[in-house]
Structures are given as structure tokens and as C-alpha cells.
Amino acid sequence: MKMIFFSLMLLILTSAKVNAQNCEKPCPYYADFMKRAQADTVKNAQTKLNYYRAAIVAAKDCHCPYLEQNSNKQIDTLFVIIEAEKRMAEAQTQTILQQQENIEVALNDTKKATIENKKIISALDFYKGEFALAFKNDKYGFIDKVGDTKIEFSYDKGEPFNPKTGFAEMERNETKYLIDIDNNEYKLIHISEVLKDADNTKSLIYQEDIKWLEDVSNNEMNTLTLMEEEIIGHQNNIKKDKIVLKKRNE
């Protein structure tokens, strides 16, 4: 009984295959349309779909349901591919939109930050129009009106430039300095410590220099102008003191 059933099924399948093969012979257009639809040169999904539909029409004209069914399966496969590509395109579009949104947010943040920076900079006190004390990364330095660094941020403490003296008092590693706009540093010393370690002759020399510096500080003079006016006299005094020191050492 099993043998008879198996033989019957084999006969049906063989008959269907033979009918399909026989069906293809009088349907040359079907084979042509299917070949065009599956060609690698055809990339457009709509074009492929049109060829498959044309193949279905050709199969119907040949009264060949098997070939018609085969074309419908190819169309189903094509729609699966189209749907997958559609989802991929939608995901890419969403990614692009998100990226554009992120860029827009970043640009807005940058614009706001720029406006805030301009407000801050415009409120700063600029010495000679281009040196303003600023604080960055826990260090003090000086910037211009554009925000560019004029004097590096390397000081632990700092004060703005004094318009009367032309110097700014800064501090690094617990050592104080006077700096000018050319970033020249002049180390500030404790006079009492210097005099404590000096002999009487040197003390006289230091005291003369100290008196000169005190005059600058007390009168709030511009040291550059004062030096231009009195540098020669000051140098002469130092030379005289050195001569006295040399004679005493002899």
C-alpha cells in the first residue's frame, strides 16, 4: 500500500514538472521577462517588478499556472527585499536627522557661549586696550579683547596692570613678581631679609636702591618714565657705592 502511494506521488510530481517544462516551450516571452527581471544590471525595484508582472501575463497566455506561481514567488521575495531596504533607509534617515539635531544643538550652545564670552570680555578692564586679567585652568594670565592669550596662564595669583606704574603684581609658587606688557618678570624680594644677610657697606648700597624704589611706589610714578629721567643719576650712584665698597675691601 505504501509502495502504491509513493509511486502515485512521484507520478504527480513528475507530471507537474513535465507539464511545467512543456509549458515553457510555447512561452518564450516568459523566460525572457524572467531573465531580464533577475539580471544584475537591473537595480531599480520597480523595473524588476514590471518584468515579473509581464512574466505572469505571459504565463497566463500560455495557460501555465506553475510558471505564474513561480513569478508570484519572485515578486514576494522582491517585496521582502524592498521592505528591508526601506527599513534600512528609514533608520539611516533617522540617524541623519538625529545628527543634524545634535549639530544644531551644538551650534546653538556655541553661539550662546560666544555671546556670553563677549559679554564677559566686554566687562573686563583692559590695560592699554589689550591686557585684561583672566582666570583659566586654575591659573591667572592676560587676554586681549578677542580672547586670545597675551600673557600665559602660569600664575597662582594675579592682579590687573596698574595704570600708574605699568606693572602687574603676580605670584607663582609663593614667589611674587612684577611683570610688564612684554612679559618680563621682576622678582619681588623682602628687603629685611636682604639687609639681614648684608654687611654695613652693602646695606648702604641696598638702602639707596630701596629708597629709590620706595619713591616710585609712594608717588605712584610710572617706572619706565622715571627710569628714563633718572637712570643716569642712579647708575652713577651705584658706581660710587661700588668704589667705596672696593676701597673698604682693600
> How long, in residues, is the chain?
250
Q: Where are the domains of the chain?
A: 19-84, 121-187, 189-250
- Residue 211 φ/ψ, nearest 5 degrees: -60, -40
Give the least confident one: 17-31, 67-81, 123-137, 218-232.
Answer: 218-232
Residue-wise pLDDT tens digits, 71-126: 888 888 878 887 787 888 888 878 766 766 666 666 566 666 666 666 667 667 78
pTM of the model as a whole:
0.37
pLDDT at residue 122 in the model: 63
pLDDT at residue 98 in the model: 76
* pLDDT higher at 105 or 35: 35
Residue-wise pLDDT tens digits, 185-204: 888 765 555 555 555 544 45
